[in-house]
Structure 1
Amino acid sequence: MDKTLKKIALIGQPNVGKSSLFNRIANKRIAIVSDMAGTTRDIRKHEIEILDRKALMLDTGGIDETNDAIFSNVKRKAIETAKEADIILFMVDGKNIPDDKDKELFYELQRLGKELALVVNKIDNDKELERLWEFFEFGIGDENLFGISVSHNRGTKNLFEWIYQHLPVNLETVAREEAEALKKQRENEFDFDDEEDYSEEEQEISQQEIINKEVDENKINVAIIGRVNVGKSSILNAIIGEERSVVSPIAGTTIDPVDESFEYKEKKITFVDTAGLRRRGSIEGIEKYALMRTKDMLEKANMALVILDASRELTDLDEKIAGLVDEYGLGTIIVLNKWDENMDTFQKIEEEIRRRFRFLSYAPIIAVSAKTGRSIERLKDKIIEIHNNYTQRIPTSQLNRVIEEAVIRHSLPSPNGAYLRIYYTTQFDTRPPRIALVMNKPNLLHFTYKRYLINYLREQFNFEGTPIHVIARGKNDKMGDEEYLEKS
């Protein structure tokens, strides 16, 4: 077992679902699952992999403040494990109100200064989400609070994404693949004797072109998503110029996703016209499969059109559907269909959308009419533009300059007197753009400063329509990272 892996500790009182979550993350039935409090007493370890990042998962015994010698030993082991861990998942039972025992233990873990998430389990439906507000009493930000249902596999994707963002990036593999691609192209296009005739700058430009070519294969997968009867099929037909999807005023006509590809400005665009989403309580019969297939489609897409009905008021369901797009990290355009109002009304609706969809603040809003064809060509051009933003890679030198300017304008915070320093910055991935801040104490960088840097990056570069992930990393998180970061 790799001793350099980051450790994730599961902490909590008995019978809150730690072992079930352990099994869900590990994707195997390893931990013993039982309704009997205190089933898990020893520390179970298992190497896990979330996408391309690995970690060591530690499942601790349930903690219970009793005089029982067994539980006393369990608590001791759990706290010791938490001290050794890099990431702590503190689980509580969402069926019960927060108790003082949970708060006391949470504050004790908080003082360790580790990456800490409060995981509220057994939030089985939308109605029970309201109980999540009670757990803000712990004094934790909403970016570290997760309401999930392990048994229903609900809300776990957001938690997995949070864990993923806090695991080291294996840049060594990326660097090796890019070097091999560069070497292969050189072998095909040049004699090795000519290689030394190229300056370092020319070689870097050549390598950058190869990287971008590998990332951008001129293929765009676009998900069309929205609640029922907002005009998704009509918009698809208007964009491709033919009636491909069945259009009907009857809500829920489209059940199976309909794929359609066409060429536009040297790009191959593939649309998936999804079944409309309704409130969970209104889903009946075959529409349950439509919801499942919609989520499957979002996993394959790299861009989404969030369709809203401009002739009707926005609803909470519109927000939930848009939240799916944000959850999958897609390039996004908000499309107002059935538009026939004046500009003053558009400004009013735009303000309402921005208020409700703060998490999609980067997404442009385009008012169209599938019926008359208004702004359909503009929408097609915007798809190309957002895709270019989504797949772009900013040179390291430019990123360093911009981040240095941002730090000069607004100094890095000094939590508890700690001196923070950013050594350098680089973009290590696209779709969406992922940017690493290589610094001395990455765990102490507050999310509000990351948000400030993201906003500053948006002012300097065209990232319209795409989320940006800024991730703080230690200088020696992975052997080989430093060389790659400095030469990207």
Structure 2
Amino acid sequence: MQSIILIGKPNVGKSSLFNRMAQKRIAITSEISGTTRDTNQTLIEIYSKKALLIDSGGLDEKDELFKNVKKNTLKVAKNSDIILYLVDGKLAPDDEDRKFFHSLKKLSKPIALIVNKIDNKKDEERAWEFANFGVKEIFNLSVTHNIGLDELYDWLDCFLKQSFSKDEEQSLEEEQNSLQNIDEHHIKVGIVGRVNVGKSSLLNALVKQERAVVSAIAGTTIDPVNESINYQNKTIEFIDTAGIRKRGKIQGLEYFALNRTEKILQKAQIALLVLDADEGFNELDERIAGLIAKHHLAVMIVLNKWDKAQRDFDATLKELKLDRFKFLAHAPIISVSALSGKRISVLLDKILELFENFIQKIPTAKLNALIEEATKTHPLPHDRGKVVKIYYAVQYDLAPPKIALVMNRPKALHFSYKRYLQNKMRENFKLEGVPLILVSRKKGQRDEE
């Protein structure tokens, strides 16, 4: 367990800060210099992170007793993880404090200068004089009036590692064990797109047989067609769905085909959104993509008829990811020719990859290490002056991955910060092609949605 030592000359308020951080009266405090001679220690919790807090004897050399106290204090400091050096803000900085501080700084540990007893405006003005210590980490405190501790806790949080109580560990284990069971050898793939983009031709190319009727007549496929193949020791079940037309053009059985397509997506795990690269893209393609996003499916965008298209691939990627399908920016885009069979094997390999991403279990330790680093790099904004903290994160479901952020103020998590965390997770975990669901909640809350 990490340790934090409070260190400084006698009578600067170390024991008072010790009691304040411990949230109980442990150390004896008095106006008599050198009241604390031996080290006191207690377990504290800062934003759900536990640490050992150590109150040390004062650094002084006025007699043999104090020289021994100082020697013991410096020994404990060398074995501590974080050092808080306290000075009396009502007094001017002195060379002895500066000397002690810089000798501790050479230990190459996180160290902060705590200017205590800053009780009024006059004290605040005087506190600026301590900037000549040459350290950025300076915190003005009034331990007596409980002022300034939030900023100190934010700084400490950057260096403390996440630790869980037995109840929390049990809760995390229960959530990990409650992840739904997925058949890792059976993949369900829905093929969707507007009429006449080549979905049936794509199915035939994937299963290597004339399974679906193909013609140039728009809407040839009315009933969904299922076919399974074995590939790399996996069973991939394809569903060739009826083409979707604009509602004004839906005729007869095609109305039922549209409804059946929706039901198929409810059962699918991966959606292949087929686009006609030769004809171009339109608003209906975007509406179909919205159905995929609605069902939180893994998705791959398939540019069919690429051999006929007179298009620049990079420009096409930009149009799809930055303009038409911003909400599917995580989806890989594959160009194929269903009729010639070009790049179909690439498509099959990508399906296996997306499925692994879709059903993955992210280790809790790695997830929390990432959250800790992300919040350290870009701290959470305060909520009306109150500190907002993520205590820990845990994956509570998969297919797609769903992450709960356990927080003190879950409603204060802004959508832009949530997007920042999602981007960080995508950078560090294999999440291409899958939606990533983040929810914020309080400790003990189980309603994730």
Give the TM-score category using the shorter length.
0.5 to 0.7
Give 1:325's aligned residue. Answer: 292
1:351 to 313, 318, 326: 318
Give 1:371's aligned residue. Answer: 339
Which runs of 4 or more aligned residues in structure 1 lie more than 6 Å from their structure 2 counterparts after TM superposition? Answer: 171-174, 341-344
* Largest Rg, 1 or 2: 2
Please give the alpha-carbon distance, in whole angstroms, between the structure 1 residues aligned to 2:357 and 2:369: 20
2:411 maps to 1:412: no
Cα deviation, residue 348, structure 1? 1.4
Please give the alpha-carbon distance, in whole angstroms, between the structure 1 residues aligned to 2:177 and 2:313: 46
Cα deviation, residue 367, structure 1? 0.1
1:217-228 mapped onto 2 (5 Å cutoff): 217-228=184-195
Give 1:292's aligned residue. Answer: 259
Answer yes or no: is the 8 Å Cα contact 2:297–2:400 preserved in 1: yes
2:232 maps to 1:265: yes
Give 2:272's aligned residue. Answer: 305
Please give the alpha-carbon distance, in whole angstroms, between the structure 2 residues aligned to 1:251 and 1:236: 16
Give 1:460's aligned residue. Answer: 428
1:133-212 mapped onto 2 (5 Å cutoff): 175=174, 178=177
Q: Could you list the per-position Cα deviations for residues 451-475 of structure 1 after superposition, in whole angstroms to 9, with x for gaps in the alignment?
A: 1100110000110000000111101
1:385 to 335, 339, 353: 353
Shift in CA distance, 332/478, structure 1 to aligned 2, threshold 3 Å: closer
Shift in CA distance, 172/419, structure 1 to aligned 2, threshold 3 Å: closer
| Stretches of structure 1 lacking an aligned partner (at least 5 in a row) | 1-170, 180-210, 482-488
Please give the alpha-carbon distance, in whole angstroms, between the structure 1 residues aligned to 2:298 and 2:200: 20
Answer yes or no: is the 8 Å Cα contact 2:278–2:310 preserved in 1: no
| Stretches of structure 2 lacking an aligned partner (at least 5 in a row) | 1-169
TM-score (norm 1): 0.55
Please give the alpha-carbon distance, in whole angstroms, between the structure 1 residues aligned to 2:346 and 2:176: 37
Give 1:403's aligned residue. Answer: 371
Cα deviation, residue 176, structure 1? 8.3
Cα deviation, residue 312, structure 1? 1.1
More helix by share: 1
Q: Which amino acid in 2 is paired with 1:372? A: S
2:421 maps to 1:422: no
Question: Secondary structure at 1:415's aligned position in 2?
Answer: coil
Answer yes or no: is the 8 Å Cα contact 2:277–2:309 preserved in 1: no
Query: How many equivalent residue pairs?
Result: 278
Shift in CA distance, 283/382, structure 1 to aligned 2, threshold 3 Å: same
Give 1:31's aligned residue. Answer: none
Cα deviation, residue 478, structure 1? 4.5
Answer yes or no: is the 8 Å Cα contact 1:258–1:273 preserved in 2: yes
Shift in CA distance, 342/397, structure 1 to aligned 2, threshold 3 Å: same
Please give the alpha-carbon distance, in whole angstroms, between the structure 1 residues aligned to 2:446 and 2:242: 44
Give 1:61's aligned residue. Answer: none
Q: Which amino acid in 1 is paired with 2:218? A: A
Q: Could you list the per-position Cα deviations for residues 402-445 of structure 1 after superposition, in whole angstroms to 9, with x for gaps in the alignment?
A: 11111111111112212111111111110110001111110111
Please give the alpha-carbon distance, in whole angstroms, between the structure 2 residues aligned to 1:173 and 1:255: 47
Please give the alpha-carbon distance, in whole angstroms, between the structure 2 residues aligned to 1:384 and 1:424: 31
Cα deviation, residue 174, structure 1? 9.1
Please give the alpha-carbon distance, in whole angstroms, between the structure 1 residues aligned to 2:239 and 2:412: 42
Cα deviation, residue 219, structure 1? 1.1
Give 1:474's aligned residue. Answer: 442
RMSD: 2.3
Answer yes or no: is the 8 Å Cα contact 1:394–1:427 preserved in 2: yes
Please give the alpha-carbon distance, in whole angstroms, between the structure 2 residues aligned to 1:307 and 1:456: 29
Identity %: 50
Question: Secondary structure at 2:440's aligned position in 1?
Answer: strand
Please give the alpha-carbon distance, in whole angstroms, between the structure 2 residues aligned to 1:241 and 1:450: 43
TM-score (norm 2): 0.59
Q: Could you list the per-position Cα deviations for residues 292-317 of structure 1 after superposition, in whole angstroms to 9, with x for gaps in the alignment?
A: 00001010011100000000121000
Answer yes or no: is the 8 Å Cα contact 1:216–1:391 preserved in 2: no
Answer yes or no: is the 8 Å Cα contact 1:222–1:305 preserved in 2: yes
1:316 to 283, 293, 296: 283
Answer yes or no: is the 8 Å Cα contact 2:410–2:440 preserved in 1: yes
Cα deviation, residue 267, structure 1? 1.1
Q: Could you list the per-position Cα deviations for residues 98-132 of structure 1 after superposition, in whole angstroms to 9, with x for gaps in the alignment?
A: xxxxxxxxxxxxxxxxxxxxxxxxxxxxxxxxxxx
Question: Secondary structure at 2:423's aligned position in 1?
Answer: helix
